[in-house]
Amino acid sequence: MAVLEEISTQLQAGKVKDVKALVQQALDEGIQARDILEKGLLAGMDVVGEKFKNNEVFVPEVLIAARCMNKGTEILRPFLVKDGVEGKGTVVIGTVSGDLHDIGKNLVRMMMEGKGLKVIDLGVDVTPAAFIQAAKENDADIIGLSALLTTTMPEMKNVVDAVKKEGLRCKVMVGGAPVTAEFAKEIGADFYSEDATSAAEGAVAIIG
């Protein structure tokens, strides 16, 4: 579908307005929100990620592409969060201390909301103390941690340890590109999830 390729192209070029208009156009054409996300926005982000790795583009370009991604997913949000009935359980989610990547975390949040979970999003660069405080205040069932840097992954263990120290009843779920099931086990996290959909399904299973 031409419009999906165009979304990917304009995201790579950092054209926020065009991406927003094209996402709306794709919805108007009856294309499924999930296809717009995966074959348009994420496909474009993959190309940017590859170029970033190869030093073909740099932080400013990636930031603008990420802005396109976040603005595009905001438009898709009501369609991804279909039933959106809250009350099945509460998740406190955030990107760990020192880490500013939030695209994956935002997707996990949306998918969880789509499963009817109440999600409290603490944003990025969240300290263990902030996770603990929010979990206590909201009587959270799950704390969800996202990390995209190998250097910030150890922060996940700090949160797991803090949960144990405080004797909280909530489970800890971890994810993010460098995180593995093996790492999750090693740090004592309760659940690892590879992508946003399985994170949401896993959260429902844990709470259920």
Give the shortest CB-61-to-ligand B1M separation in angstroms.
8
What's the CA gap between 133 and 147, in Å, rounded?
Answer: 20
Of 73-102, which residues contact ligand B1M (CB under 6 A)? 93, 98-102
Q: Is 120 exposed, middle or buried (0-12, 13-18, 19+ CB in 10 A)?
A: middle
Q: Per rule CB under 6 A, is residue 177 in the interface with ligand B1M?
A: yes
The one among 25, 32, 52, 84 contacting ligand B1M by CB under 6 A: 52
* DSSP code per residue over 166-204: HT---EEEEESTT--HHHHHHHT-SEE-SSHHHHHHHHH
Stretch of 14-22, 72-80, 142-150, 161-169 contacting ligand B1M, by CB under 6 A: 142-150
Residue with Cβ nearer ligand B1M (2 or 54): 54
Q: Per rule CB under 6 A, is residue 132 in the interface with ligand B1M?
A: no
Angle of the 42-53 helix axis to the 2-12 helix axis, nearest 10: 40
What's the CA gap between 137 and 144, in Å, rounded?
Answer: 15
What's the CA gap between 155 and 131, in Å, rounded?
Answer: 12
Q: Per rule CB under 6 A, is residue 187 in the interface with ligand B1M?
A: no
What's the CA gap between 206 and 172, in Å, rounded?
Answer: 10
The one among 176, 184, 187, 189 contacting ligand B1M by CB under 6 A: 176
Q: Per rule CB under 6 A, is residue 112 in the interface with ligand B1M?
A: no
Q: Footprint of ligand B1M on this chain (CB under 6 A)?
A: 45, 48-49, 52-53, 59, 62-63, 66, 93, 98-105, 107-108, 144-146, 148-151, 173-178, 193, 195-196, 199
